[in-house]
Amino acid sequence: MRESGILFHITSLPSPYGIGTLGKAAYEFVDFLKKSGQSYWQVLPIGPTSYGDSPYQSFSAFAGNPYFIDLDILIEEKLLLIDECEEYKRPVSENIDYKWLYDTRFKLYKKAYKRFLSMYSQKEFDDFKKEKSFWLNDYALFMAIKGIMPEGNWLSWDCEYAKKESNAIRNFSKNHFEEIDFWKFIQYTFFRQWNSLKEYANDKGIKIIGDMPIYVAYDSSDVWSDPKNWLLDEELKPTVVAGVPPDFFAVTGQLWGNPIYNYELMKKNGYDWWITRISESFKLFDVVRIDHFRGFESFYSIPAGDKTAEFGKWEKGPGIDLFNKIKEKLGDLDIIAEDLGFLTEDVYELLRQSGFPGMKILQFGFDPNGDSEYLPHNYTNNSICYTGTHDNMTLKEWLQDISKEGFDFVCEYLDVDINTEIDIIIDKLIKLLLSSVSKIAIIPLRDYLHLGKEGRFNIPSTLGGNWVWRATDAMLTDELAEKICKFTKVYRR
């Protein structure tokens, strides 16, 4: 069966408190998907974001983003008062201000926490803490220490806190129980709201596709609490960091800065960390897209301290051995492999061995001088096709930006006149994707909305101004839902 869905991150929902949340607007978007005849809602990573606000740099591989907690739900539960939340409302048309969220949101959550302790039975909370203790204890401790330390990663903390196994840490845990418990409450609240939304979506026939970054941030509870799983030196500094080499889009490459896994040790331990991470991801999502899948075949290793990604080298990753172990422990899973970037025959072979569908990006296909695996006539059934990803331009911006030769080829491929209105061309490109043999077609909402540059979500290798776009209520109309549903029915998705 061929199906379709929409890519639209939680942050971009038209919620009233400065950022998209797991409240009313999220439920209404599920209804919009149902009305549109869709089967999938794809989101970006939902972990707590750190410096730069990227969902691909998180304080934890397991925790949820506190900003997604819906204040109106807390009001309904009598954990917050209407008056307390009123001043935190912002026009939905405004971009997300992450600094403002950081400065204000946790003050409200602390009020909710104190009321929760006095008003509600703690049994469910205690059960949650027990169930998630394998990551929650370290994460809550990490965030509590972060609250009293200067800005910066954990290595900049006072030396007695930089190592988890120390008397200072044990004393801190005893003396700051309430602060640590507060961070556990934040996660308890997030997971309750997330699980409720997911159940609602599933009941409506909508599956959620989650996004799992291949790497974790250096400034994370994962690395701080168990540094042996990463390639660090005796001072716990990374010896090498992740990224990708120079290409047409980034002439000095992309320096991500994430620490690289100690795969040799992980293999000796039966890849337990990865098995746990994948297992927990499938408790949150119905399908998991693994970002930068090619890094499991070979990863690009850059000397720590380099200012660009120009002088890294490719090193062998764990390959199919890791995924065989995951399958052995967890069975067959609905995984999407983000197989974009510099691909070799070995990467294609790993994809074949895994059986996971790869990704086809329409914008990548239009080379007027040659064929491309990203043109729809070359798609295979075992693939997930997209007009573009969160890193790409919108279709409108892309059409306005490509060369005349490239634009002429688009029109020739679509069999339309070069003077055709750009909005008509956008719809034809979407229909082209929906008509392909790929088993799932995912369209970013911004392309259905025909947004131009104003709808761009992220520009890779840049800091600031990314991840801030939001939709408004006026965009998610019945007319748009009917149009999407019509497209979907025509191409039997």
Q: What is the pLDDT along the chain (493 residues), one digit of tens a residue?
A: 999 999 999 999 999 999 999 999 999 999 999 999 999 999 999 999 988 899 999 999 999 999 999 999 999 999 999 999 999 999 988 999 999 999 999 999 999 999 999 999 999 999 999 999 999 999 999 999 999 887 778 988 877 888 887 788 989 999 999 999 999 999 999 999 999 999 999 999 999 999 999 999 999 999 999 999 999 999 999 999 999 998 877 889 989 999 999 999 999 999 999 999 999 999 999 999 999 999 999 999 999 999 999 999 999 999 999 999 999 999 999 999 999 988 999 999 999 999 999 999 999 999 999 999 999 999 999 999 999 999 999 999 999 999 999 999 999 999 999 999 999 999 999 999 999 999 999 999 999 999 999 999 999 878 888 999 999 999 999 999 999 999 999 999 9
CB proximity list for 288: less than 8 A, separation 6 or greater? 209, 210, 211, 212, 278, 281, 282, 333, 334, 335, 336
Residue 291 is a catalytic residue: yes
Provide DSSP, 59-71.
S-SSPPPGGGS-H
3-state secondary structure of 421: coil
> Taking the domains of the chain in order of start, what are their residue ranges?
3-112+185-490
Residue 103 is a catalytic residue: no
Residue 220 DSSP symbol: S
Does the pTM surpass 0.85? The reply is yes
Distances in Å between the alpha carbon of 452 and those of 62, 172, 401, 447, 473?
34, 50, 11, 8, 18
Measured distance CA(493)–CA(490) in Å, rounded: 8
Residue 306 is a catalytic residue: no
Instruction: State the catalytic residue, choosing from 219, 338, 339, 397.
Output: 338
Q: Classify domain 3-112+185-490 at the CATH topology level.
A: TIM Barrel (3.20.20)
Residue 325 DSSP symbol: H
Instruction: State the catalytic residue, choosing from 28, 391, 408, 427.
Output: 391
Burial of 233: CB neighbours in 10 Å, binned 0-12, 13-18, 19+: exposed
Chain CA centroid to CA 129, Å: 24
